[in-house]
Amino acid sequence: MKVYFHLNAGGFSNCYIIANEESKEAIIIDPGKITEKIISQIEEMQLKLSAVLVTHNHGSHVDGLKTLRKIYSPKIYAADWEVAKNETTVLSGDGKLRIGKMLVRYMSIPGHTSDSVVYSIGNLLFTGDVLSAGELGETNSSYSEFILKSNVENKIFSQLDSTIVMPGHGPPSTLGALKSFMNFKN
């Protein structure tokens, strides 16, 4: 498995292509903007775009979906039906997906938004805006912040320190590094 990073400069958000080199299948996470470079990479590597995973329904994470759907026919996974209406496979709670030869675990982590989902593929966590390098995602109330902190502590920080965090904004990090900088105890 290889991961390719693309920056959406308009929203300063990260888009990821996860490619299984053996099966030539690919997953895109958070297609904020689909550029010629992303399409060229998919075509030159002769990848089959099997799925699109959306961490939450904010424009800088989904605006490129319309372009992808004009070119490819991926299955779309999100916790918000409005992402692609009837073409959205709506995820709720926590679970697992088999996408080609890749196992994808997903966790509902509300707080930043009610539809926030974190995806785990191998030792990588794609956190969207739930968590980034040294920061908890923004919330709109103290209750949302409490829910987000609780979910991050129980569902994310319980994983191995060597787990790599691939955020929706900013650089990658490890859970060990994030734990050492983020203290939720008041």
Provide the pLDDT confidence category of residue 182 given band limits of 50, 70 and 90: confident
The percentage of the chain sitting over the pLDDT mark of 70, rounded to a whole number, equals 98
Between residues 186 and 102, which one has the greater pLDDT? 102
Predicted local confidence at residue 132, as pLDDT: 83
132-171: pLDDT as tens digits: 877 888 899 999 999 999 999 999 999 999 999 999 999 9
81-107: pLDDT as tens digits: 999 999 999 999 999 999 989 999 999
Between residues 168 and 184, which one has the greater pLDDT? 168
SS (H, E, C) the chain: CEEEEEEECCCCEEEEEEEECCCCEEEEECCCCCCHHHHHHHHHCCCEEEEEECCCCCHHHHCCHHHHHHHCCCEEEECCHHHCHHHEEECCCCEEEEECCEEEEEEECCCCCCCCEEEEECCEEEEECCEECCEECCCCCHHHHHHHHHHHHHHHCCCCCCCEEEECCCCCEEHHHHHHHCCCCC
For the residues 57-80, what does the mean pLDDT come to? 93
**Number of CB atoms found within 10 A of residue 181's CB:** 10
Residue 22: both structure tokens together: 């053996």
The percentage of the chain sitting over the pLDDT mark of 90, rounded to a whole number, equals 84
pLDDT at 181 over 90: no
Predicted local confidence at residue 100, as pLDDT: 84
Residue 179: both structure tokens together: 């734990």
The Cα–Cα gap between 37 and 35 comes to 5
Mode of pairing for the β-strands spanning 164-167 and 124-128: parallel
pLDDT at 184 over 70: no
pLDDT at 186 over 60: no
